Amino acid sequence: MEGKVALITGAGRGIGAATARCLAKKGYAICLNYRNDEESAEQLYQELLETGNKVLKLRADVSLEQEVVAMFEAIDSKLGRLDALVNNAGILLQQMPVEQMTAERINKILVTNVTSQFLCAREAVKRMAYKHGGAGGAIVNVSSAASRLGAAGEYVDYAASKGAIDTFTKGLANEVAGEGIRVNCVRPGVIETTMHADGGEPGRVERVAPLIPLGRGGTADEVARSIAWLLSDEASYVTGNYTDVSGGR
């Protein structure tokens, strides 16, 4: 994979940061996208620079079209190509039943978790597709096991947004297969990241672990390795696929 360029959205922490480290070890030039956490993004940026890889740090709210366009134009000017996109950015809000959810909350979840992936994929396709002079490429959308399980009583809005990503993955994969672009998604289960604190339950992994056949939560590195495989030439005949990284749940 040496010489290839990968953009990872929401790369400042958790699965995004783990994926950046994993791909850097495989020789990718890395574009780190983040929105708010400048400190974490800068720490990761400095860490990856020490690997000798090209690294670009790009601040952008990927739910906003104009910021997505500007981000991709920065990649064009500074790296000149894009081979891989990891659509990882997403949010989780305070746990609550549907009957308490406001339209503002629901729309925030959908725009951040769904619209962002559409916009980033759109710009990636414009650069990867054969018809646009591209050399093909690979996209991995980060969904969630919640798309299958529903997250009742916790965050059905989040689960629904990830269900949309499952459908988006299949549709886009079929749409761009003839353009040399593979599109897959990973569906992490209960993973040890700080995202659970965003939902109001920092210890959720420990609570849910007994329900998981493997008996534990997963790690961001375990998800990152699955993403890296789907981006690699080893997965050259895999597209429109859902890879569950969920411990059997």
The catalytic site residues sit at 158
* CB 17 within 8 Å of CB 55: no
pLDDT at position 193 is: 83
87-104: b or e for each residue (b if 16 or more CB lie within 10 Å)?
bbbbbbbebbeeeebeee
Average pLDDT over residues 33-60: 94
Query: In this predicted structure, what is the pLDDT of residue 76?
Result: 96
Which letter does DSSP use for residue 53 in this model?
A: -
172-186 confidence digits (pLDDT tens): 999 999 999 999 999
Whole-number Å distance between alpha carbons of 117 and 139: 10
Rounded mean pLDDT, 71-87: 97
Tell me whether strands 29-34 and 5-8 are parallel, antiparallel or unpaired.
parallel
Does the pLDDT of residue 1 top 60, yes or no?
no
Question: How many separate domains does the chain show?
Answer: 1
| CATH number of domain containing 205 | 3.40.50.720
**What's residue 2's pLDDT?**
60
Within its chain, how far is the Cα of 194 from the centroid? 15
By the 8 A CB rule, do 105 and 159 touch?
A: no
Query: Residue 30 sits in which domain range?
Result: 5-245
Give the mean model confidence (pLDDT) for residues 22-48: 94
User: What is d(CA 176, CA 137) in angstroms, rounded to the nearest whole number?
Assistant: 10
